Amino acid sequence: MSNILTVLIFFPLIAAIFGFMVNQKSIRVYGITVAAAEFLLSLWLWASFDSTNPGMQFVEQLSLIPQFGISYYLGVDGISLFIVIMSTLMTLIGIIALSVKDDIKNMIITLLFLEVAMIGVFVSLDVILFYVFWEFSLVPMLYVIGAWGGNLRLYASIKFFIYTFAGSLVMLIGMLYMAFIYHSTTGVWSFSLTDWYSLILPFDVQKYLFLAFFLGFAIKVPMFPFHTWLPYAHGQAPTVGSVILAAVLLKMGTYGFVRFSLPLFPDASVAYILPVGIIAVIMIIYTAMIAYAQKDIKQVIAYSSISHMGVIVLGTFAMNTEGIAGSVFLMLSHGIVSGALFLLVGVIYDRKHTKIMSEFGGLAKSMPNFAVVFGVMTMAAVGLPLTIGFIGEYLSLAGFFKVSPTLTVLGGTSIILGAAYMLKALKNTFFGPITNPENENLPDLDAKELTALIPLVAIVIWLGIYPKPVLGPIDTTTKALVQMMHNKAQTKEAKATILVSKPKKEAK
């Protein structure tokens, strides 16, 4: 177990390289086998994880460039553990459900390379290593959209790359300046994130560094007004590209806020709460209204992703355990639910070769299993109690209520607006008379599709009813994070805003 994180990163890399020697007929089985082994490794990581320990576990560190303090430094805690597991799960699900017919071999190899980057981002504790994996993730996704996407795939892939790469460059400047400050303060160079946590920076420095990091993470989320690349990316990407993009890649932005922005710049984070909260509310309401107006069902899901990411941002900047733990749980929830919804859209597109809802109608009669799974995911997407979507939304909004009741009430409209556009899509797709004769004989979910979707349905219901196995470790680490932020905060306003959970009194 001492090197399990290294194995998780490099096993799919080695498998992808050997994948070039696998023939076209065997590549799907090979890809599923590799992805399944990677998923089982992540479950082993969870089984060996100490849920009572709030700190980094399975730490690996090897000096790479000692004169500049750059090292191969890995670790996971309760926040990153489950995002790693979700990354391996959604990669496996994506390969199982893969419907690409052209050049499937290169697609599977590309997905394995993408998995390397995703795992690397979430376990890296050296900032340069983090940045390398962060940038590396752009290349496979650029290829997935550009090679297997729709008619506007080149425009969509280039826009995706330019937006995210531009934000990353600004973030890199902030990282380098942060390292310079650490060197000026301690006399040594270090890009270790845990070393940086020990610094207490003046507010004037914090606010500029916060903005540099914020831009890189906000574009990845994507936050308004940087969100325009996402609908194009989803609209043109093949189904598996949309699944991975929505489930994992968007979470890199909100994960960055939790891992970097809040603990490194607590005073600046508090100072920017209201502007960030206002932007998040705009994301929630504006994109929900756009989702309601869409005629393309894939665009409904794409804009709903931006709206739900706004709720995650609210929880992240709540500055208390409830909000941050809720936002991390909602990252997992949104990843599972949005990934499943994009898979379902891919199912109907493979049969109808259209995503326009007016071409559907009455599908519940011809595709009952498909309708049931879509209905379950719709209920989870709107935050119905006893589904996975409820827990994270409730905690995120409850946490931010302590910061701004007004913005929370406005953000809470996500539940109402989400129900409006999702139920409209459900009604137009599955109910009413079958007006198109082609819809009468559409085949229902096949064995491959059921294999991919049933585990996601089980997770949605299981964690909706009993979230403790996941929420417990997240909560433990989040409490330690909030305590560190509170201790580092210098202004009275920041200390008052960053609420530390009081220990429960023991029963007499």
- Lowest pLDDT segment from 52-61, 114-123, 192-201, 348-357: 348-357
Mind listing the pLDDT tens digit for each residue in 366-413?
889 999 999 999 999 988 999 999 999 999 999 999 989 999 999 988
Q: Give the residue among 354, 319, 345, 326 at the shortest CA–CA distance from 489.
A: 319
End-to-end CA distance of the chain: 41
Kindly state the tokens that stand for 62.
Answer: 């090897």
Amino acid making up residue 261: S
Residue 123 lies in a domain: no
The pLDDT of residue 506: 43
- Split into its structural domains, the chain has a count of 1
Is residue 242 within 8 Å of 234, Cβ to Cβ?
Answer: yes
CA gap 304, 50 in Å, rounded:
35
Residue 112 lies in a domain: no
Residue 446 lies in a domain: yes
Is residue 56 within 8 Å of 194, Cβ to Cβ?
Answer: yes
The pLDDT of residue 428: 86
Q: For a pLDDT cut of 70, what percent of the chain falls above it?
A: 98
Three-class DSSP category at 73: strand
| Residue 360 lies in domain | 272-493
Is residue 124 within 8 Å of 73, Cβ to Cβ?
Answer: yes
Residue 433 lies in a domain: yes
Mind listing the pLDDT tens digit for each residue in 403-447?
899 999 999 888 888 889 999 888 888 887 777 788 888 888 889
Amino acid making up residue 114: L
Residue 200 lies in a domain: no
The pLDDT of residue 508: 37
Is residue 31 within 8 Å of 95, Cβ to Cβ?
Answer: yes
Q: Give the residue among 429, 163, 178 at the shortest CA–CA distance from 296.
A: 429
Three-class DSSP category at 202: coil
Three-class DSSP category at 60: strand
Mind listing the pLDDT tens digit for each residue in 263-287?
999 999 999 999 999 999 999 999 9
Neighbours of 438 (CB within 10 A): 11
The pLDDT of residue 503: 56
Residue 105 lies in a domain: no
Residue 466 lies in a domain: yes
The pLDDT of residue 507: 38
Place of tokens 């990316």: 233
Quote the pTM value.
0.93
* Residue 474 scores a pLDDT above 80: yes
